[in-house]
A and B are shown apart, each in its own frame.
Chain A
């Protein structure tokens, strides 16, 4: 049922544009992948620029065998999943209230939530660090899990507010007439319907948590507790970049998000469809 704007000419035109976009998008990743398989010697001598000759797994072997990369991977997964769970839970409840319930201060809170998005993270991290430390969470993954919702919750809330607004109110009314409480209606009727939206919001939150750099750099000092982006950046030891090594780390860091998105992207589109149109 998807509308076709491009009309009859769409075939060739669409494929041409698609090819161009794909080239632009895929080539850097291809390059990253190829670089990760090249030997240092080949890198320097510019031989066989576009493929590894010979393909070597040294970079990967070194990465997994000689560094804490594995531990960082685990940390990133723990932090991203937990903070996503927290942010999605908080955001879902809040968004439902802001979209549906009638209470004093609702409009103000709704716009305040979005306005927090304007605040540049670069000025927050020092006071935020002090705050995290006051809570006794400095240098722990829990600290990051607590801090990340500060930037994921506003987005999740905004997205889901739109989504909840798109669900007909009569559904709740009907449930409540059948004797359900407001909360019961939310839990049994609205929440299941909102699943695609919640999934989309969770994906957003996960991506942002997975990519976060500055807070993770500052809040964590224990090498074993680093997350992937920070860990990766420590491979840049200043004077000579081990490009192949760095790219091997980049490939492995990018894989899970790619996997998640190729599998879940249809929820993303679905979640955005209802959510953002109403926005």
Chain B
């Protein structure tokens, strides 16, 4: 109630509503005109303060969240602005954005996932000037980040950091068997896994879900590229079951084989969520897995015994090369915001190298570079495991590769088309050919919908 009244009083202060209107609404809120008047008197003496609504991504790296929150609050105090922070987790993010945009009530500023600028381009502000300034000052953007931030020639967001996945290997197990880190999935990872695993002791060579999840979808995308295929051709047209059919079939077959033929994966892997392989790895049940740096962060900050026994290496590849996608997190300002200048000021504040460095240090590898200047930050030399993270980010490609990053490509990923396809084979018992054909039809349909 109090909150609501204060809000009304603010509107009155900045002249958004008339005094009479305020009284009427206040009376409704408080249930009596007298109470409304009393509040009005106390509010009249309060300073009018601009209120900025900022939505942040609640990262798994909780220490980094704390740092960012503190930095923003320091800025707010310095500028005399009221900032309302809202943290959304992975799962909660999209409903909140969608509802807020559709109800015409988006925040002023939001920290977004790489899909953000493409998805919400209709309601985002052109930030080319600021983005250009910052990029120039920081040695230029990495190519994949620039592509993702620059939609139809305009920067709709300012890149902040990138999150990637790397290949986690149990160093102790590897050394005990005298092995080297695998370079390609087939045969390296398969052989590596076979030699190191011991299912009777609940230890499996490879943990990689093909289930709908960020981990599963990311892996499927990467491996299609590794085999020289992909969902899209160079021009951004559907290629899943046509141009790249042969390559994609091989990739799909391999993914399925890790479970059915090579038997290097633990049972239940098809039901894994993004959490499962982290838990399994930390419980000592996996020799290798693909995961974000957040797993490493979790082990290091909790002083987990496996932290020291873990080696992070480049994501393995295939006959067509080795590919990996990263998510470039970014700042976007909504077109409706009346405080775009303040938002830009805030972005400059938190992207200041000294402040970002503080954020970087508590992130344990999760806050990867997006600017060339940040690649050389001494922090990345402070742990040999960081090498693979930086290398993976520098070579990252985007949804839609080898074609452009399109709305259709984002939707194919968001709709889990590739993991659904794998699921149809592993769980549904379809032949890879049939599953590929079915998935291609879905890609075609999305392409058609998004083009019109």
A: residues with CB less than 8 A from B are: 40, 44, 125-126, 129-130, 133, 136-138, 140-142, 214, 217-218, 221-223, 225, 233-234, 236-241
Contact = CB atoms under 8 A, between A and B. Distances in A.
Contact of A138 (B29, B55, B90, B105): B105
Contacts of A223: 85-87
B279 A237 contact: no
Contacts, number: 95
A222 B29 contact: no
Contacts of B7: 140
Contacts of A129: 99, 102-103, 105
Contacts of A221: 53, 55, 84, 86, 96, 100, 107
Top 10 nearest A-B pairs (CB, nearest first) are A239-B60, A130-B103, A221-B86, A218-B99, A239-B294, A238-B90, A129-B103, A240-B298, A237-B60, A238-B60
Contacts of A233: 89, 91-92
B282 interface: yes
B268 interface: no
Contacts of B13: none
Given A140-B3, A218-B99, A222-B84, A240 B92 contact: no
Residue of B62, B99, B282, B283 with highest tally of chain A CB at under 10 A: B99
Contacts of B90: 238
Contacts of A225: 3
B288 interface: no
Interface in B288-311: 291-292, 294-295, 298, 302
B125 interface: no
Contacts of B84: 221-222
B274 A238 contact: yes
B99 A126 contact: yes
B41 interface: no
B25 interface: yes
Contacts of B295: 239-240
A268 to B, nearest CB: 31
Interface of B: 1, 3-4, 7, 25, 29, 53, 55, 58-60, 62, 84-87, 89-92, 95-96, 98-100, 102-105, 107, 274-275, 278-279, 282-283, 291-292, 294-295, 298, 302
Given A130-B103, A130-B104, 18 more contacts: A44-B282, A126-B98, A126-B103, A129-B99, A129-B103, A140-B3, A142-B1, A217-B95, A218-B96, A218-B99, A221-B107, A225-B3, A233-B92, A234-B92, A237-B62, A237-B89, A238-B59, A240-B60
B86 A240 contact: no
Contact of B302 (A40, A137, A140): A40
Contacts of A142: 1, 4, 29
A123 to B, nearest CB: 12
B91 A236 contact: yes
Contact of A239 (B92, B98, B292): B292
B103 A240 contact: no
B201 to A, nearest CB: 14
Contacts of B103: 126, 129-130, 133, 138
A139 to B, nearest CB: 8
Contacts of A239: 60, 274-275, 278, 291-292, 294-295, 298
Nearest to B304: A44
B102 A130 contact: yes
A88 to B, nearest CB: 19
A221 B53 CA distance: 9
B294 A218 contact: no
A140 B99 CA distance: 16
Nearest to A220: B86
Contact of A240 (B4, B104, B278): B278
A239 B3 CA distance: 34
A237 B53 CA distance: 21
Contacts of B102: 126, 129-130
Given A142-B4, A218-B95, A218-B96, A238 B279 contact: no
B25 A136 contact: yes
A21 to B, nearest CB: 28
19 contacts: A126-B98, A129-B103, A129-B105, A133-B103, A133-B104, A141-B3, A142-B29, A218-B99, A234-B92, A237-B58, A237-B89, A239-B291, A239-B292, A239-B294, A239-B298, A240-B275, A240-B282, A240-B295, A241-B279
A105 B90 CA distance: 48
A141 B4 CA distance: 9
A234 B96 contact: no
Given A133-B104, A236-B91, A237-B59, A222 B275 contact: no
Contacts of B3: 140-141, 222, 225
Residue of A137, A222, A233, A237 with highest tally of chain B CB at under 10 A: A237
Contacts of B275: 238-241
Contacts of B62: 237
A241 B90 CA distance: 13
A233 B62 CA distance: 15
Nearest to A230: B92
Contacts of A138: 103, 105
A44 B59 contact: no
B89 A236 contact: yes
A221 B4 CA distance: 14
Nearest to B293: A239
B428 to A, nearest CB: 26
Contacts of B95: 214, 217-218
A133 B7 CA distance: 13
Contacts of B104: 130, 133
Given A126-B103, A142-B29, A240 B89 contact: no
Contacts of B107: 221
Contacts of A141: 1, 3
